[in-house]
Chain A
Amino acid sequence: MVQEVAFEQEKVLKSPWGGGKSPFGVSREKFTMWIFILSDAFTFAGLLAGYGFLRASLPEWPSRIEIFSAFPFVSAKLPLLFVSIMTFILICSSLTMALAVDAGKRMDRKGVIKYLLLTIGGGLLFLLCQAYEWGHLIHEGARLTSNPWGVPLFSASFFVITGFHGSHVLSGVIILTIMAIRVAKGIYDKRDSYEGVEVAGLYWHFVDLVWVFIFAFFYLL
Chain B
Amino acid sequence: MAEAVHSRKVYWRVWFQLLMITVVEIIVAFLPISHYLMALLFTIMALMKATLIAAYFMHLKFEQVGLIYSIVLPLILIIALAAALIPDGSVALLMRLGLGYY
Contacts and interface: CB of A to CB of B under 8 A. Distances in A.
Nearest to B28: A220
A56 B92 contact: yes
Given A91-B22, A95-B12, A208-B53, A24 B66 contact: yes
Contacts of A88: 19, 22
Contacts of A67: none
A202 B53 CA distance: 10
B67 A25 contact: yes
Secondary structure call for the B interface = helix
A213 B50 contact: yes
B58 A95 contact: no
5 contacts: A34-B71, A49-B85, A56-B86, A99-B11, A221-B35
B15 A91 contact: yes
Nearest to B60: A34
Interface in B1-59: 4, 7-8, 11-12, 14-15, 18-19, 22, 25-26, 28-30, 35, 38-39, 42-43, 45-46, 49-50, 53-54, 56-59
Contact of B67 (A24, A215, A217): A24
Contacts of B59: 198
Contacts of B49: 209, 212
Interface residues on B, range: 35 or more
Interface string A33-47: 010011001100100
B89 A55 contact: yes
A50 B77 CA distance: 16
B66 A45 contact: no
B22 A94 contact: no
A105 interface: yes
A202 B58 contact: yes
Given A205-B57, A212-B46, A216-B46, A84 B26 contact: yes
A80 interface: yes
B74 A102 contact: no
Contacts of B19: 88, 91
